[in-house]
Amino acid sequence: MKIQIIAVGQKMPDWVKTGCDEYLKRMPREYDVKFVEIPVGLRSKNASIAKAKKQEGEGILNAIGRDDWVVALDLKGKIWSTEQLASQLDGWRMDGHSVSILIGGPDGFDDSVFQRVNQRWGLSNLTLPHPLVRILLVEQIYRAHTILSNHPYHK
C-alpha cells in the first residue's frame, strides 16, 4: 500500500526527520510511506494570504496521484481513534487505494484542494505544530498497522 504524506513546509528541524525515520524504518514492506514536501507560499506585507494558499494548493494538487484516495488533515475533520484509523487503513488497503494524506500550510488549504479531498481527518481538537504533526502521523500509521497485524506495540 502506497501512502504519501504531502506536507506544506520544507525546513523542518533535524529532530523531525529523526522522529519520522524511527517509525518509517519499523513499517513493513507492504507499506510504502513517503513524504512529499511543498514549498510554503510567499507571505509578506505585499503578498496576500489567498495567493500564498493558492500557490501551496497548486503544489499539493500536482503531487496527488490521479487515482489516490485523498485525506486532508483539517481542524473541521472527523476525529478518529487509533482503532478507527486502523479500520480506515484496512479499508484503503482492501480497496487497493494509494493514499495521499495532506498537511496544509500555516493558513490551511486553498478551496481548490478541498474539491479533490475524499475525507477530512481531524488529528486533535488541539492546535498542533507542523513538525509534531509529521511525527504523530507516521507513528499513528505505524500503530494502526500493529493493530491490524496483532502486534503487541499497541496495548
pLDDT at 155: 65
Per-residue pLDDT of the chain (155 residues; tens, 9 = 90+): 999 999 999 889 999 999 999 999 999 999 999 999 999 998 877 778 999 999 999 999 999 999 999 999 999 999 999 999 999 999 999 999 899 999 999 999 999 999 999 999 999 999 899 999 999 999 999 999 999 998 887 66
pTM, whole model, 2 decimals? 0.93
Say how far apart CA 10 and CA 127 lie, in whole Å.
20
Nearest to 103 by CA among 21, 44, 16, 31: 16
Torsion of CA 43, 124, 32, 139, to 10 degrees: 110
